[in-house]
Amino acid sequence: MSFSKLLSLLLLVNFLFIYQSHSSPDNNVTKAQSHIKPKKVHLSLYYESLCPYCRNFIVSQLVKVFNTDLLNIINLRLVPWGNAQYVKPNKTIICQHGEDECYLNTIHACAINIWPDPRKHFNFIYCIENQGLPIKDNQHSDVMEAVWKACSARSGMDQKLIKDCYDSGYGRKLLLQYATETDHLYPKHLYVPWVTVNNQPLYDKYEDFITYVCNAYKDKDLVKACLSNSLKVTEEKFSRSPVCYAERRSQIQQRLHCCSGGT
């Protein structure tokens, strides 16, 4: 073989080596990227157990997450604190709808902690909220306990675990953790239900949460719930969803003063 032919052959081999070394990784990356699932959307509900509008949202709207394929694309968090206030001087928790609400908020917190899978604790919370419990300010009702126990049995959840969580005071600690999280929201929550998608509040458009979730998800065309949704947020002047506004601190302190025997 002549020197010129040998040189040409070596140059050809070198060219092919360089071409493969530069093209193959890119092809591999492209193939790998095609199999990467988009990040899930973070959906959070800040609520309180006896707010009628929170109740209605959970029972009529949020339940759609579990009746469709939306749960496959979201990380759902329920935060049962809402408009409650923690009064530091005497370490008292004051809930907007009275002691029953504080009690049920704590029961919710215990269930979420014991069964972190949303499919599990949501069934329990849905069952409680679906009862349409009466609001009796500053009165701990045996009815509340009977309801959550019945719902725990219906949901296949151990009543003793929930009761131990509440009786031991651990549920109160969980509730105060939710208080800290709620107090550090930015922008601050103004009312409940307070719904956020990827940490951005929906304000009074919370009933359009599916639209916001779908628009935040990269491959929404693959989600049946998104395909069946209009993906348009209503902008009518009177389309605001009802809410429970947070009480001013002065109102909370006045209620606390009355409850503690003040005049």
Q: Are 148 and 133 in contact (CB under 8 A)?
A: no
Distances (CA, A) of 254 to 71, 83, 95: 42, 16, 13
Is residue 211 a part of any domain in this protein? Answer: yes
List pLDDT tens digits, range 149-203.
999 999 999 999 999 999 999 999 999 999 999 999 999 999 999 999 999 999 9
**Which of the four pLDDT bands, split at 50, 70 and 90, describes residue 76?**
very high
List pLDDT tens digits, range 78-137.
999 999 999 988 889 999 999 999 999 999 999 999 999 999 999 999 999 999 877 665
Higher pLDDT, 55 or 36: 55
- The pLDDT score that the predictor gives to residue 241 is 81
**Which of the four pLDDT bands, split at 50, 70 and 90, describes residue 22?**
low
Question: Could you tell me the residue range of the domain that residue 217 belongs to?
Answer: 41-259
Is residue 14 a part of any domain in this protein? Answer: no
Is residue 122 a part of any domain in this protein? Answer: yes
Residue of 189, 158, 202 lying closest to 48 (CA atoms): 189
Strand segments (E) across 143-205: 191-192, 194-197, 200-201
Is residue 4 a part of any domain in this protein? Answer: no
Rounded mean pLDDT of 246-262?
51
Q: At 164, which CATH number? A: 3.40.30.10
| Alpha-carbon gap, residue 93 to 251, rounded angstroms | 14
> Which amino acid is located at 88 in the chain?
K
Residue 194: phi and psi, rounded to 5, are -115, 110
| Alpha-carbon gap, residue 119 to 15, rounded angstroms | 57
- Residue % of the chain over a pLDDT of 70: 74
Residue of 216, 225, 241 lying closest to 43 (CA atoms): 216
Is residue 2 a part of any domain in this protein? Answer: no
Rg (C-alpha) for the chain, rounded Å, is 27
pTM: 0.80
Name the domain count of the chain.
1
C-beta contacts of 176-180 below 8 A and 24+ residues apart: 176/86, 176/93, 178/79, 178/80, 178/81, 178/109, 179/81, 179/84, 179/86, 179/93
With 90 as the cut, is the pLDDT of residue 232 above it? no
Minimum mean pLDDT range among 5-9, 125-129, 219-223: 5-9
Is residue 8 a part of any domain in this protein? Answer: no
> Which amino acid is located at 2 in the chain?
S
Rounded mean pLDDT of 208-224?
95
Is residue 24 a part of any domain in this protein? Answer: no
Is residue 6 a part of any domain in this protein? Answer: no
| Alpha-carbon gap, residue 104 to 54, rounded angstroms | 13
> Which amino acid is located at 162 in the chain?
I
Tokens of 151: 């719902």
**Average pLDDT of the chain to the nearest whole number:** 84
